[in-house]
Structure 1
Amino acid sequence: MHPVPDKTAANAYPDQFSGGEDTSRLTALRERLAIYGFHVELVSSSLVVTAPVDHGVRLSTEIVCKPRPSDGDRLWFWHSWGEPIDAADHVVDAAVSVVGALKVKRTRRVLDGDVTDIKALFAEKFPGWNIIRTDRGNWWATRAVLIREDLNPDDASTIEASTPAELYVRLEAASK
């Protein structure tokens, strides 16, 4: 969770919903998501975000900007179904969350497949990473030679996850 900004700071946001600040925040988020290759349209007081086509699937979401009562009514980005994304003054973090959420959903169909298909997907998307599924069902990615005894979750070149979807998101973050 991000720290609450000092209300006296120049970039602090009002405690109450202003009705205009939401549009400027949505515009900033639209510009950031467009950088990631997403089609983004500002419609009325919401963003319609459409992911690029991947594996024959093209997902979209609608995002609104409104106060969050549990955060002193600071403006937050929200999915249209009511799930909070991030504070509106954290545009880059919100964009990364939206991209990650859509990419996890876009790959879930493939990631639920068998291990061979999953490894093939990872090899294509993340060259240079070796993927292993442990006997306990955990997933590992490492840049080193793939030997189970050498896997170390504290090493920056090794990533551990409990599901393929979680590993996918972590590898994307590590690849940036």
Structure 2
Amino acid sequence: MAESQRALGPAWLDRYLTAPVWRFVLTPGVLGSQGWAGVLLPSVDRVGRYFPLTVCAPLDGVLLERATLDLLSSWLDRAEAAARACLAHDATVDGFEASLAAIGLPALFPAMPSQAANALLQRASPVELDRTASGPDLGTLADGVLAQVLRGYTLWWQAGGRAFLHQHLPAAARYTSMIDQTFGA
């Protein structure tokens, strides 16, 4: 935030307070060994401190299937609504915690790639994959490959708007462009 204040100067406060809500998925390897999904939006507390309010939850899986992405999108809608509600002047910590408890954690499926797919990727040795009449479960194998390729990446998007993929967390200049909506960084 300090870099965005420096870069935007006197325009910072207006740009910050009108910045869009960003949704994100952090793949395993960004913040520990599991993935995360959530929303990030500008906030200010009752004594005038500005901070990015973040509501997030751990993810146990790779989000390849349409049904899984739809479930995540629905959970992100509820997380954003809870975050926006806590910005009301009369909001309380207890009310915010109750809202978060009500939305719960995203119930996503399928889980991370099977142990067999992970073993195949990590050791390149023969492993037994789930088989169908036509051969190995290629969906499971694809999940495993994608999980390894995207490890350490983050996906950021606005509902109905811009999106970008970034290796690791966005740098200060990228965060400034997320507030400023210039995307020049």
Bigger share in helix:
2
User: Structure 1 length as normaliser, TM-score?
Assistant: 0.26
User: Structure 2 length as normaliser, TM-score?
Assistant: 0.25
